[in-house]
Chains A and B, each alone.
Chain A
């Protein structure tokens, strides 16, 4: 279960489990988290938790609510966010602690109205992992009118050639660069070898021939 860790001046006061749909933070004695301090409004802020996601909302407090130093009205809480209310801090800890069985990892589940409150989605869904970046590479034209021209492959996909005649795409993937024939009766030639329909890995200083133009693929040393 997600929780908030309430502290002042780095001294932990208590942990607040987010075990209800709405947890109100304020000076009023009816608040779920009572902070008896004049800088805190009666109803200062509220955290709404829906299954695995928690949302913080400032309830038009006099002195405002900060998250990670920025004032917010509404905020989708992420693990380790620090909420500041007056001199008090509340650190948000998402419920990542409970590791589901690998078998159930991120499985799609059906949420049905009567069971909604008890739904136990077995998901530690993290945003799609940022894939590792391969080293920067470029191609340089080594024959024909455009000789000397360089094209740095900064995009994930780079299309080369003439549409309708011969087109190939260079894909930048986590473990390197690959060239694929897409269009045309002639296939690209790499180092004198005709490619087939498969994606072909590119190595430093490979020479590509495409639509009558020769170009060299090389890795940029950063």
Chain B
């Protein structure tokens, strides 16, 4: 079977911003297998970009290897929980890799990264995330955040200490409560969502959502949705127009057609009868 590449249009943009010296964000994807990943590194000197670069490289390579083993497509018997397990395993591998590198070289000590990674398959996506990099979905003109940050601020919102509106004023942004590569163990949060044609998915680093309000992001995706690359460029531009205080990255996935799993012959037959 062909991969899901025909059903997805993927576009991306990343920028250092106007204040930082380095871009510590990293992005990667493989359209054919429907995999996208974004990481926002942290740690002294250049260690942040080392950590995010490793996270993206390890995950991309591991997913490619897995799909090679599967001859390019997810096996028929695989279920949603199997895919979620796969994502979890790969995230744990990336964590080991970064953690060991951080332990073995003094210049990498304490480095870590946030992560958001999604696999599109069988008209759905499974997303793993750690920290405050996000996944949003634009559906029927409405933008919704699908991931919940692992951050002090989110905890404060959840506990009712601070309202969602006031959160923009908080000076405790940028404090994540989970990260990849900082501990020997890691607990990614994983969820699965259905996808529909015309949906647009946005993976982004906090440099985007800290600088550009959700409403503006939704507006950009609505106006430029016909061309995801233009939308990605425009999002980066909007963050920089507002001051560009952080690295900013966006990966967009637009669903062009349904992409049912190959064993959907029965479903196809039934839909043909209708």
Contact = CB atoms under 8 A, between A and B. Distances in A.
B243 A129 contact: yes
A153 to B, nearest CB: 13
Contacts of B112: 110
A150 B140 CA distance: 29
Contacts of A144: none
Contacts of A167: 226
A131 interface: yes
A55 B171 contact: no
A128 B132 contact: no
A105 B185 CA distance: 29
Contacts of B162: 53, 55, 76
Interface in A129-164: 129, 131, 155-157, 159, 163
Contacts, number: 124
B234 interface: yes
B67 interface: no
B242 interface: yes
A78 interface: yes
A110 B179 contact: yes
A199 B168 CA distance: 30
A180 interface: yes
Interface residues of B, number: 49
Contacts of B173: 106, 123, 125
B107 interface: no
Interface stretch (A26-34, A168-176, A186-194, A201-209): A168-176
A51 interface: yes
Interface string B178-217: 0100110000000000000000000000100011110010
Given A109-B174, A110-B176, A173-B237, A182 B224 contact: yes
B176 A109 contact: yes
Nearest to A197: B230
A105 B245 contact: yes
A50 B42 contact: no
A155 B183 CA distance: 46
Contacts of A171: 234, 237
Contacts of B224: 157, 169, 180, 182
Contacts of B42: 107-110
Interface residues of A, number: 42
A107 B210 contact: no
A119 B175 CA distance: 9
Given A50-B156, A128-B212, A129-B242, A112 B175 contact: no
B71 interface: no
Nearest to A183: B226
Interface string B2-17: 0000000000000000
B147 interface: no
A163 B35 CA distance: 30
B174 A108 contact: yes
A181 to B, nearest CB: 8
Contacts of B161: 48, 50, 55
Given A105-B245, A121-B172, A123-B173, 15 more contacts: A51-B152, A53-B170, A107-B174, A108-B175, A110-B112, A110-B175, A110-B179, A111-B152, A128-B243, A131-B243, A157-B219, A180-B230, A180-B234, A182-B223, A183-B226
25 contacts: A50-B156, A50-B161, A52-B170, A52-B171, A53-B162, A106-B174, A106-B210, A109-B174, A110-B179, A112-B177, A112-B183, A119-B175, A121-B172, A124-B171, A125-B171, A127-B169, A128-B212, A131-B243, A157-B219, A157-B223, A159-B223, A163-B226, A180-B234, A182-B226, A183-B227
